[in-house]
Amino acid sequence: MKQGIYVGSATGQIGYALVPMIARGIMLGPDQPVILHMLDIEPAAESLNALKMELIDAAFPLLKGVVATTDVVEACKGVNIAVMVGGFRRKEGMERKDVMAKNVSIYKAQASALEKHAAADCKVLVVANPANTNALILKEFAPSIPEKNITCLIRLDHNRALGQIADKLDVQVSDVKNVIIWGNHSSTQYPDVNHATVTTSSGEKSVRELIADDHWLSSEFITTVQQRGAAIIKARKLSSALSAASAACDHIHDWVLGTPKGTWVSMGVYSDGSYGIQPGLIYSFPVTCEKGNWSIVKGLKINEFSRAKMDTTAEELAEEKSLAYSCLN
Ligand code: LMR
């Protein structure tokens, strides 16, 4: 069965990187036919049409149809997956909180359209910042979409953490696994390597065992991952786009097709109170996925250092939540 995939803000930097990845099968695998449902705002209508032309010209074998529209209802019709890229993007020097009010109204409209017109089991991934809180707003305005189906993108940070560890150890990134990003997709997130491992010629070794430099792990590594988004904005004068698009594909791919045995990934999901995180926040946890469902990895040992950092990012999310609710009223 063909899968309809909604991409908001399709002509933007992330959208432009993302749609060819989806059409090539990177998101849902090489055997899954897809129909792209692309939305953008009226001033981008011509670019949207050009994007549709390029998609036709690329002759992607898996791409079975393209809806390109500025009408949110038409864009959402029957979609199985929604990637919410659209939002007011943070510019250099701005904090995520500055963009909250603008995003509340954008997400309110998109939530109602999705709720009414998407497939009943539509899986939603929010990419636009503040991603965790935008997902929460979406959940608020689309109460009939199960909370299990509303997630936000933390895979970008997860992949960044894998990249930093691989670089430090001079190993392949594919040999590193089970890092965790806890919390918010913001500079308070907590990249945690306490359970991460590396496959070596002499078996699986813990990252802590391989990196003797504790100081690097508890300072520079953490801040590099936390600040990576800001560093890219500074260098590019634009937010990260190709890495965000690639991470969005990874997120949906693993959610739909499952995580490899013994491996978890980080996803922003609705907290059920696991690890003492206040229920009702969209918080990033380590999750495994099977048959289209994610589950939080339970029972990991949390030391004092981690506890404090997990709580700090939860506090920021609670503040964002009340800020967002104050914008709603
Ligand atoms: C990123 O992590 O690269 C982006 O979310 C940064 C941003 O604020 O746009």
Residues of the chain with pLDDT under 70: 89-92, 94-98, 329
- Residue 109, pLDDT score: 85
- Based on the fold, state whether residues 114 and 173 are members of the same structural domain: no
**Last residue within a domain, chosen from 102, 124, 152:** 152
The count of residues in the chain is 329
- Based on the fold, state whether residues 51 and 190 are members of the same structural domain: no
- Residue 190, pLDDT score: 98
Q: How far apart are CA 172 and CA 163, in angstroms?
A: 9
- Based on the fold, state whether residues 102 and 19 are members of the same structural domain: yes
- Reported ipTM: 0.96
- Residue 95, pLDDT score: 64
- Based on the fold, state whether residues 147 and 193 are members of the same structural domain: no
Q: At 25, which CATH number? A: 3.40.50.720
End-to-end, the C-alpha distance of the chain in Å comes to: 42
- Based on the fold, state whether residues 314 and 220 are members of the same structural domain: yes
Tokens standing for residue 264:
């978890």
Which of 99, 129, 234 should be mutated for ligand 1, with most atoms under 8 A from CB?
A: 129
Q: How far apart are CA 70 and CA 20, in angstroms?
A: 20
- Based on the fold, state whether residues 127 and 163 are members of the same structural domain: no
Q: Dump the DSSP string for 46-77.
A: HHHHHHHHHHHHTT-TTEEEEEEES-HHHHHT
- Residue 242, pLDDT score: 98
> Which residues, at least 6 apart from 220, have a Cβ–Cβ distance to it below 8 Å?
none
- Tell whether 258 is covered by a domain: yes
- Tell whether 329 is covered by a domain: no
Query: Residue 35 is which amino acid?
Result: I
- Based on the fold, state whether residues 125 and 263 are members of the same structural domain: no
- DSSP 8-state assignment for residue 183: B
- Residue 14, pLDDT score: 96
- Based on the fold, state whether residues 223 and 125 are members of the same structural domain: no
- Residue 103, pLDDT score: 83
- Residue 323, pLDDT score: 86
- Based on the fold, state whether residues 148 and 167 are members of the same structural domain: no
Q: How far apart are CA 162 and CA 181, in angstroms?
A: 11
- Based on the fold, state whether residues 36 and 136 are members of the same structural domain: yes
Nearest CA to ligand 1 atom 8: 90
Q: At 313, which CATH number? A: 3.90.110.10
- Residue 106, pLDDT score: 85
Q: How far apart are CA 153 and CA 262, in angstroms?
A: 21
Active site residues: 185
CB-based contact 162:173 (threshold 8 Å): yes
Say whether pTM exceeds 0.80.
Answer: yes
Annotated binding site for NAD(+): 40, 103, 127-129
Could you tell me which of 264, 81, 274 has the C-alpha nearest to residue 158?
Answer: 264
Residue 234 backbone phi and psi in degrees, to 5: -65, -45
Nearest CA to ligand 1 atom 4: 229
User: If you compute the radius of gyration of the chain from its CA atoms, what whole number of angstroms results?
Assistant: 19
Q: State how many domains the chain has.
A: 2
Structural domain boundaries, residue 243? 155-324
How many CA within 13 A on the CB side of residue 30?
Answer: 0
CB-based contact 258:268 (threshold 8 Å): no
Q: How far apart are CA 114 and CA 6, in angstroms?
A: 10
